[in-house]
Structure 1
């Protein structure tokens, strides 16, 4: 290449560089106009009355939290020896993941309670009893009992969000007596003063929705149902409270069965004494339940081979 050609090439490169610098300066000095952000698909849907993305995200997060709480309850009660085979069932209500209403979370039939984790729970539509979230099917009796208890609670304006059904050893033993009354003989018994209903009309497995309706009507706003020749039904506002209630109900039944086995006469609190104890305990019940449940969750995360949060 000749010297003249090289000079021309260098001159062209120099001019192009100057032009490029000038252009950048010119555009950097101009005020930037904000472009209108395109409307996303979920935003378009929100104008048609559906849940917005932020609402759906919130529902997903709350759904996950409820799943973790319930899975922890399954594992914790199993660690106390209060589960029975692959039967009995715990449930709680949660916002549906898609932002449309609520679902009832239950464990799928076939899992051991110690295997239950957040993602393994299924979401059941309260009205139809069909699975709308997750894989698997809950036990038939679980759907028939839990869906009906929640529906009856809605009719009465109750704030029930959690339902536990178990065949715990001492409560079940109490339910097998001709008189299954929980006696006010201990502090743990007194916390249930006036809050226990009794069913003496056992009619077999809950293979239809009518049995669930019957049980809900018998409870009539009480938190505990001792089911004759069967087990217990516990309802409450939160998983932590229902867990606490179940634990102390079993402890109260244990004390009573052990005391009765001595053959000696029971020493019972009068109504005023039992009522006072209940008032004192219930004044701090939510906090006490939450702290105890959190402590139990820390323990099972160490002991259980299955992480309930997964």
Structure 2
């Protein structure tokens, strides 16, 4: 299974689990130093195949193949992220229910449990902006750098997650949505929500088992057949 096929597989899983509905969301993968592959405009995660991806030149933003389908309307956001994050190889943009719900009532997502601390870390909430614009794309890329995060909740919109590999981005997407669900559930009790302290977060991140798990998730080929 190659990288685009692996990405198709996890995107279908995300669709099956309600992370997107209809032709919502978009995803991309870095193919080499000059090229990315991104979902075509109007394609749906639940039926994606490799022919639904469009190759785009990373520098010019132009399609690499004449007559190819139109790339996602959020291509400018994906390009901005890859241009400013040389270690990012995968970008997933989904519309998870609890992430969007949280963004309408809170401007933060605290770290609440070990997997969130170890595999995701901080998740910022970015104020609402009109999607698909160049300014929107630049703002997303700049916030990822400024806040040193791998995930952004977009207010009244959705979630953007980056990763070194398909599986890393996939797991991060799942964990952020789980964290939003947990946080909203806790808030609904009207009791004080216990967050992990900075000391507890660092203890988790420094565990040898967590360092090993993260190392494995940044190795591409080891995981192709496990997706």
Is the shorter-chain TM-score for this pair beyond 0.5, marking a shared fold?
yes
What is the deviation of 1:258? 1.2
Task: Name the CA distance, whole Å, in 2 between partners of 1:258 and 1:292.
Answer: 33
1:108 partnered with 2:36: no
1:90 partnered with 2:22: no
Alignment match, 1:270:
197
1:205 partnered with 2:131: yes
Task: Name the CA distance, whole Å, in 1 between partners of 2:120 and 2:51.
Answer: 37
1:67 partnered with 2:4: yes
Q: Secondary structure at the match of 1:267?
A: coil
Aligned-CA RMSD value? 2.4
Aligned in 2, Cα 1:186/1:146: closer, same or farther, shift over 3 Å?
Answer: same
Q: Which of the residues 211, 215, 224 maps onto 2:140?
A: 215
Gaps of 5+ in 1: 1-63, 96-100, 298-310
Structure with greater Cα Rg? 1
What is the deviation of 1:286? 4.1
Alignment match, 2:169:
242
**Cα shift readout 1:73-130 (whole Å, capped 9, x = no counterpart):** 21111121111320211111114xxxxx532111212222121112331111122222
**Cα shift readout 1:10-40 (whole Å, capped 9, x = no counterpart):** xxxxxxxxxxxxxxxxxxxxxxxxxxxxxxx
Alignment match, 2:214:
285
Aligned in 2, Cα 1:279/1:229: closer, same or farther, shift over 3 Å?
Answer: farther
Whichever structure has more helix as a proportion of its residues is 1
Aligned in 2, Cα 1:192/1:226: closer, same or farther, shift over 3 Å?
Answer: farther
Runs of 4 or more above 4 Å deviation: 288-295
8 A contact 1:152–1:213 mirrored in 2: no
What is the deviation of 1:230? 2.0
Q: Which of the residues 53, 59, 65 maps onto 1:127?
A: 59
Gaps of 5+ in 2: none
Task: Name the CA distance, whole Å, in 2 between partners of 1:192 and 1:93.
Answer: 21
Task: Name the CA distance, whole Å, in 2 between partners of 1:286 and 1:83.
Answer: 29
